[in-house]
Amino acid sequence: MSEAIETPERRAFYDKIDKKNLTPLWSVLSNLITPEPRSAAQAFHWKFDEIREAMIEAGGLITAKEAERRVLILENPGLRGKSSITTSLYAGVQLVLPGEVAPAHRHSQSALRFILQGANAHTTVGGERTRMNVGDFIITPSNSWHDHGNESSEPIFWLDGLDVPIVSMLDASFAEPWNSDEQPVTKPEGDSLARFGANLLPVDMKVRNTTSPIFNYPYARTREALEAMRRAQEWDPCHGLKMRYSNPETGDHAMPTIGAFIQLLPKGFATSRYRATDATVFSVVEGTGRTTIGDRTFDWKPQDIFVAPSWHPVIHEADSDAVLFSFSDRPVQEKLGLYREDRGNA
């Protein structure tokens, strides 16, 4: 779509109607409806060693209680000032030091936690407490009370992913604090996984939630499943072995606005060129390798984080057996009929 030529008469008309808060569509149409996705987001790679150093310094400057959440936001270099890693999603790395509590609160935004480093700290969601260990994928559903604590002797770090930009765009944000630092624990630890995590559901269970009733998907179980599936040798040329975390009630994505995925790339595997409309955040769990996004190549190792913007071609290469966690807004795009992928055919 090409823009209409501007003439003195047209310019005078535009100036006149501007005072009435009117704008001619034909002057901006080519920027509103584009032939392909056009985003300011850029491919970028955050090295965990650098994040960790900055977070430990932050830990000496502000407490978890004073900050409410001691987090360093992963700002996409093309979206600085917007607290976004993609146009639709927020990401940050959170630190809780030994003996600290990140106070209880709730908010409209849905959140995921992916544990990067540390062990045996905890999060409590809706009255149930769960341990946090490396590789665990943990969900905080919209409007659920949640707090975090660290009784271990080592700091714990995790990746936060939230749908903040989506909720902000819809003007639907609410937040409130609990009346104490920690909410009461009202359910036994492991209750949700026992009820819903073994291909079993309570007999009279009615589907109520778009968010999975399981809120901790332990990495030990995830890794065991990947290893079992490896034996089938059914490698997808674009993904290796890639699975999505699901809601056992519905079979849909585990979260309504954020899709979460785990993939295994065997040593020496190089994926075919792939691109999709869902800008994707990757976190390295195991292994080393590199990813080429457009014309940029990033060498990665465990705990590193990188982002691939919408419709940018992606190629992964694994130097050793590698596991990548990732998340995107794919559930939203699928429900709106907007999701599109290209498996190297264009």
Q: Distance between CA 159 and CA 163 in Å, rounded?
A: 14
Cα separation of the two ends of the chain: 21
Instruction: Please give the mean pLDDT across all residues of the chain.
Output: 95
Q: Return the DSSP state at 49.
A: H
Question: Which pLDDT tens digit goes with each residue over 168-185?
Answer: 999 999 999 999 999 999
Q: How confident is the model at residue 30 (pLDDT cuts 50, 70, 90)?
A: confident
Residues 289/345, Cβ–Cβ less than 8 Å: no
Q: Which helix (H) or strand (E) holds 71?
A: strand 71-73
Q: Which long-range contacts (CB under 8 A, 24 or more apart) does 233-240 make?
A: 235/266, 235/269, 237/271, 237/272, 237/343, 238/271, 238/272, 238/273, 238/274, 238/343, 238/344, 239/263, 239/271, 239/274, 240/264, 240/265, 240/266, 240/269, 240/271, 240/316, 240/318
Q: Return the DSSP state at 294.
A: T
Q: Distance between CA 2 and CA 231 in Å, rounded?
A: 53
pLDDT at position 346, please?
43
Among the residues of 199-252, which ranges form H helices?
219-230
335 burial type by CB count under 10 A (0-12 exposed, 13-18 middle, 19+ buried): middle
pLDDT at position 322, please?
98
Q: Is the pLDDT of residue 207 over 90?
A: no
pLDDT at position 203, please?
82
Q: Distance between CA 196 and CA 247 in Å, rounded?
A: 9
Q: Is the pLDDT of residue 11 over 50?
A: yes
Mean pLDDT of 41-54: 98
Residues 46/74, Cβ–Cβ less than 8 Å: yes
User: Which distant-in-sequence residues (6+ apart) come within 8 Å of 10 by Cβ?
Assistant: 4
Q: For the domain 44-342, what is the CATH superfamily, name and number?
A: Jelly Rolls (2.60.120.10)
Q: Distance between CA 65 and CA 230 in Å, rounded?
A: 44
**Residue 240 DSSP SS3:** strand
Longest dimension (CA), the chain: 73
Q: Distance between CA 324 and CA 304 in Å, rounded?
A: 10
Question: Which pLDDT tens digit goes with each residue over 82-114?
Answer: 999 999 999 999 999 999 999 999 999 999 999
How much of the chain, in percent, has pLDDT values that exceed 70? 98
- The model carries a pTM of 0.95
Q: How confident is the model at residue 204 (pLDDT cuts 50, 70, 90)?
A: confident
- Kindly list the domain boundaries of the chain, sorted by start residue: 44-342
Q: Distance between CA 177 and CA 340 in Å, rounded?
A: 39
Q: Distance between CA 336 and CA 277 in Å, rounded?
A: 12
Q: Is the pLDDT of residue 152 over 50?
A: yes
pLDDT at position 3, please?
67
pLDDT at position 2, please?
64
Q: Distance between CA 319 and CA 283 in Å, rounded?
A: 16
Residues 143/107, Cβ–Cβ less than 8 Å: yes
Q: How confident is the model at residue 205 (pLDDT cuts 50, 70, 90)?
A: confident
pLDDT at position 199, please?
80
Q: Distance between CA 3 and CA 204 in Å, rounded?
A: 59
pLDDT at position 186, please?
95
Q: Is the dihedral of CA 255, 259, 260, 262 positive or negative?
A: positive
Q: Distance between CA 334 and CA 278 in Å, rounded?
A: 10
pLDDT at position 97, please?
97
Q: Distance between CA 195 and CA 200 in Å, rounded?
A: 7
Q: Is the pLDDT of residue 166 over 90?
A: yes
User: Which distant-in-sequence residues (6+ apart) come within 8 Å of 169 by Cβ?
Assistant: none
pLDDT at position 328, please?
98
